[in-house]
Amino acid sequence: MSKKKVVNEINYIRAFACLSIVFIHAVTVAINSVAISGELRSWMQTFQVALMFATPLFILISEFLLAYAYPKQVPKNFFAKRIQFILLPYISIGLIYGLFDIWYAGGSLSLAGYWDKVWNILVLGSWYGYFVLIIFQFYILHKLFAKHLYKANPLMILSISFFINAAYLSIFYFMDPVAGISERFWERHSIIPFPGWVFYFTAAYYAGKNFDQVKAWLQKNIVWLTAGGAGLLMFIVFNHRAGIVTDVSSKRVDLLLYTCVVMALLYYVFTKVKPFPKWAVLISNYSFSIYLIHFMILRAIRKLTDQSVDMNLAVYTLLLFFVGVIGSIVIAYMMNKLPFGSYVVGKVNRIKYTPPVQREELQRPKAS
C-alpha cells in the first residue's frame, strides 16, 4: 500500500491564515474605535485587503487535504465526523452569536426576531463563520466529482472553473441587481453558493492530487512565483486605491490567483523553517475555535468600552489581536474539558509529527 507523509507545512499555513483573520478583524474594530483621519482609515483598509487571502486559504486547505488523502473517493464515515466536529460547532456558535448580536446592537430580545437572525446567520451565512457553509459544499462536490476530476484534464478544468468563478464574482460586484433577486442577496448572500469559490476547489484538488509534481514545480519556479505574487499584490492594492474593487472582503475577484500564489509561497517558506515554533502548533490546533470565537471577543471589547478608545491605533490593534487569540484559546481549552464542549466551540486538534504514514492515516481535513 502506498504511503504518504503528513504535510506538516499545511498546519502552519492554517495557523498563519488564522492569525491573519484575527488581525483583519482587530483592525476593523480598532479603526472604528480610535479617532483617526480618513486617509489613515483608507490605508488601513487597503492593508486589510492585502490580507484577505486568509479565509480562502482555510477553504483551499480543506480541499487540498481532501484531495491529498482521498483523490478518488471519500470513506464511508466521512460526513458523520465532519457534521459532528465542524457543523455542530458552527450551529452552536451561530446560535450564541445570534444572542450576542442582539445584545451588541442594544435591541430587545423576541423569539421571532431571534429566529430571523439565526436564519440569516446559519442558513444565509450573514456572519464571519460563513466559510463552513462553503467547506461543506466542497465536501459534497468532492464526493460527487472527485472520480471525474481524477481523470479529467487539469488545465481544462482549471481554466473553466476560473472563468466561471471570475464571471460570477464580477457579475455580483460590477452589475446592478437583476429583477427577481433581492438586493440583500445580491450584495451579501451571493458569496455563499459554490460558483463563487469553484476555482479554489479545483486548484486545491489538483494541488493535493498531484502534490509531488507541484512541489517539484515550486522548487524550480520559486523566483517567478514570488515575482508573480508581488505583482498580484500590487494589482490588488491598485484596484482598491483606484476605487475599481473597493470591497474589503473575501469575495473580491482579484483574490483568486493571489490566494493560490500566497498558499504556494507560504508552503515554500515553511519548508525552510525547522523546527517549527511551538506557538504555531498551538495556533494551528486551536484555529477552528479561534475562528469561531474571536470576533465576539473583539466586538464585546468595543461594546464595553463604549465604542471609543483614547489609545494609539497600533497599540490598540495589537492589544485586540492578542486578546482575541489568547481569549479564544482559553475559552476553547476550558470548553473542551466538558463532555459536550467540542460540539460547541470545535474540537481541539492534536497535531503529531511522525515518520511517513499510510495514506489512510493522513491527518484528516479540518474546517479551520
Q: How do residues 256-290 score in pLDDT, each as one tens digit?
A: 999 999 999 999 999 988 777 888 889 999 999 99
Calpha distance 42→39 (Å, rounded): 5
Distance separating the N- and C-terminal Cα atoms of the chain: 30
DSSP element (H, E) containing 271:
helix 256-271
| Cβ atoms within 10 Å, residue 170 | 12
Q: Taking the domains of the chain in order of start, what are their residue ranges?
A: 3-361
Average pLDDT over residues 237-254: 94
CB 20 within 8 A of CB 250: no
**The predicted structure's pLDDT at residue 248:** 92
- pTM for the model stands at 0.90
CB 87 within 8 A of CB 132: yes
More confident residue, 186 or 119: 119
C-alpha cell at 153: 484534464
Question: How high does pLDDT run on average in the chain?
Answer: 90
Q: How many residues does the chain have?
A: 368
The amino acid sitting at 100 is F
Tell me: pLDDT of 215 over 80. yes
30-44, 77-91, 96-110, 173-187: lowest mean pLDDT where?
Answer: 173-187
Calpha distance 173→256 (Å, rounded): 15
Tell me: pLDDT of 365 over 80. no
160-183 per-position pLDDT tens digit: 999 999 999 999 999 988 887 888
**The predicted structure's pLDDT at residue 4:** 66
**The predicted structure's pLDDT at residue 310:** 84
Average pLDDT over residues 28-45: 94
C-alpha cell at 187: 450584495
Tell me: pLDDT of 361 over 60. no
Tell me: pLDDT of 357 over 70. no
Calpha distance 200→260 (Å, rounded): 8
DSSP-assigned letter for residue 275: S
| Cβ atoms within 10 Å, residue 5 | 12
318-333 per-position pLDDT tens digit: 999 999 999 999 999 9
**127 vs 99, 214, 310, CA distance in Å?**
13, 34, 28
The amino acid sitting at 273 is V
**The predicted structure's pLDDT at residue 326:** 97
Tell me: pLDDT of 238 over 90. yes
The amino acid sitting at 95 is L
State the burial class of residue 269 (Cβ atoms within 10 Å of its Cβ: 0-12, 13-18, 19+). Answer: middle
